Chains A and B, each alone.
Chain A
Amino acid sequence: MTVLVELERVLYIEDEPDIRLVAEIALRQVGRLDVVTCASGEEGLSLLNDFMPQLIILDVMMPGMDGPQILGKLRQLSAFKDTPVVFITAKVQPDEVEQFKKLGAADVISKPFNPMTLADDVRAIWARCYG
């Protein structure tokens, strides 16, 4: 399996500040990824053109715009309509996972996640998308 483009830039949108921080550490310090995190969909969408993320991780349940709504917005932007989106959620029932995939998510990571392997998990999803 050859990955043509290496994954470097990941945007992570999560309303819970503690989770945002551990995930940032897990992705940046453990996983050596260039990560930008933010607390809301509005903020995340405003960062897109400056940061140009290659993959976006979305919390599902958030006040304001939730994960699926943000995914919908992304799909309307020509520059990000094919960007892999990974949902991260504490809702982990199999039927719900199927539902998220139908919405167009590349995959679903369940909470609690393992911070030591989070970056590897994300890279594996990236590889499946472009491998």
Chain B
Amino acid sequence: MKEQEAVIDLLSRTKAFVETIVDGVITISDRGLIETVNPAVEKIFGYRLDELSGKNVSMLMPNPYQREHDSYLHNYLSTGEKKIIGIGREVTGRRKDGSTFPLELAISEMEVNGQRMFTGIVRDISQRKATEEKLREFLARTKAILDTIVDGVITISDRGCIETVNPAAEKIFGYRLDELSGKNVSMLMPDPYRHEHDQYLENYLHTGEKKIIGIGREVTGLRKDGTTFPLELAISEMEVSGQRMFTGIVRDISERKETEEKLREAMRRVHEQRIKDEFVATVSHELRTPLTSIKASLELIIAKAVAEGSDQEKILIKIAHKNSDRLLLLINDILDISKIESEKMKLNFKRILLRSFLETAISDNQAYAEKHHVKFVLLSCPKNIYIHADPDRLMQVMSNLMSNAAKFSYSNSQIEIRAGQKGDNIRITVRDSGPGIPLDFQSRVFEKFTQADTSDKREMSGTGLGLHISKAIVERHHGKLSFESVIGEGTEFHIDLMRQLQRQGSIQ
């Protein structure tokens, strides 16, 4: 009786066990027909017990497995060749609603009352599969990131040995992975950092005192070829399978450093130029202020002295006045040079009727003609040519060329001014009949502070900056200033302004 009770107890326990486990349990006959299923099977496949009982188990499989199942079973029964029995494996299940899902299946064989039977234990592994898939995808993504990012990623053990490096790290340091793997990471640092590194690491592991971990900083890296380079390094700490590890992210900042340096240099130059500009502007203002009272006083005296003073007084005052004029020219020219050199000369372009511009030039510079006893003549200029130019600056060029021509001309000679189209240009020419520019001086005509030595005893004045400034002004007009000179015959200066630009007025 006790034995019977024990059997009943075992049966009820087994039943409770089979009915409550999450795995599905199915028993089939040797003909493949379902005999029993537990509640988990109903849940997994979506069928009720009565819908399954006595049916071929292949109904729980999608094609082509459904068709294959019967021949497997048949084959096993006749040959004893096991394909799945006793071996767990992953197959595909088919729910009542027709959907399929991954299924882990373990089959065992048993004999009940002389009848061969099979028990299948099935587990829906959709969730696990999905998780695995996600993990795989995540790993693939992580690998892709590590393989493609430009930053180098190096993991080291708590003993400082390199465990992994990504391709960027290989590229940055010039080593291959197999040359780095297992080596002390200090090989990537030049001395003295190399020696300090081991101490740092040891110190950190002992005291927990962080010097670099969690903090990005700039360090120096050492490439395989022995060269060093600036490197930005960020280190983080992690635990993998109970093992403390460190990840270093390294970025070669040579280029950034270089750019920074260039930028600093450019800013320094801009700053210096600004100081220079301000200095020149201030100096020119400061010089002009006392000069204003000197010149004005002298001019007031001259006006009176001409009537009243002695001859010697008149001469001395005129010397003082003439030289104050010269000083003023020099200040103006230096200011212009400064503007040219710092490329700050602003041009105010206007449409100008060339003929009236040249007529104005002649009347404005009449004083030079009178002083040197010469005559300015406008020899030719077509009536309707307009030019685009800054009238003040171009007039400055004309005054310079005309005063030079007057200075270097013989008394009572004529200085000719011509204008017209020449090829693609509009050319303005100022011609004198002076001694010509000495050959050895011709190459230096446009240099700063140059004036030709002449045997001519006529008084020469000027700053030696005029032609240099004139050339720069003409070039700022996208034009060209040139000359032709024949010793003993005279000199021609040409201002060539591009006709195309003139017509379109496209100079900005």
Contact = CB atoms under 8 A, between A and B. Distances in A.
Interface stretch (B37-45, B286-294, B353-361): B286-294
Chain A's interface size range is 20 to 34
B424 to A, nearest CB: 29
A85 B346 CA distance: 26
Contacts of B164: none
A112 B285 contact: no
Given A22-B300, A25-B300, A90 B346 contact: no
B398 to A, nearest CB: 16
Interface in B271-320: 281, 284-285, 288-293, 295-297, 299-300, 303
A90 B289 contact: yes
Contact of A113 (B284, B292, B324, B392): B292
Contacts of B295: 112
A74 interface: no
Given A94-B346, A94-B392, A95-B346, A30 B300 contact: yes
B300 A94 contact: no
A112 B288 contact: yes
B291 A112 contact: yes
A92 B123 CA distance: 95
B285 A26 contact: no
A18 B291 CA distance: 10
Nearest to A95: B346
Main secondary structure of the interface of B (DSSP, over half): helix
Contacts of B288: 90, 111-112
A23 B291 CA distance: 13
Contacts of B296: 19, 22-23, 26, 112-115
B348 interface: yes
Contact of B293 (A18, A30, A116): A18
Nearest to A29: B300
A75 interface: no
A25 B295 CA distance: 13
A19 B324 CA distance: 15
A19 B292 contact: yes
B300 A116 contact: yes
A16 interface: yes
A36 B130 CA distance: 98
B378 interface: no
Contacts of B281: 91
Contact of A114 (B297, B299, B348): B299
B1 to A, nearest CB: 123
A19 B303 contact: no
Contacts of A39: none
Interface string A12-40: 00001011011101100010000000000
Contacts of A94: 346, 348, 390, 392
Contacts of B303: 30, 116
A114 B302 CA distance: 12
B297 A95 contact: no
A125 interface: no
Contacts of B291: 112
B328 interface: yes
A61 interface: yes
B76 to A, nearest CB: 102
A70 to B, nearest CB: 18
Contacts of B346: 93-95
A114 B293 CA distance: 10
Contacts of A18: 290, 293, 297
B337 to A, nearest CB: 14
B293 A22 contact: yes
A102 to B, nearest CB: 14
Contact of B284 (A61, A90, A95, A116): A90
Contact of B300 (A26, A93, A98): A26
A112 B392 contact: no
B285 A91 contact: yes
A91 B284 CA distance: 8
* Among B285, B290, B292, B392, residue most surrounded by chain A Cβ atoms (within 10 Å): B292
A115 B289 CA distance: 14
9 contacts: A16-B293, A18-B293, A19-B293, A22-B296, A22-B300, A90-B285, A94-B346, A95-B346, A115-B300
The 4 A-B residue pairs whose C-beta atoms are closest, nearest first, are A18-B293, A90-B288, A22-B296, A112-B292
Given A18-B293, A94-B348, A115-B300, 12 more contacts: A19-B292, A19-B293, A21-B293, A22-B292, A23-B296, A30-B303, A95-B346, A111-B292, A112-B296, A113-B296, A116-B300, A116-B303
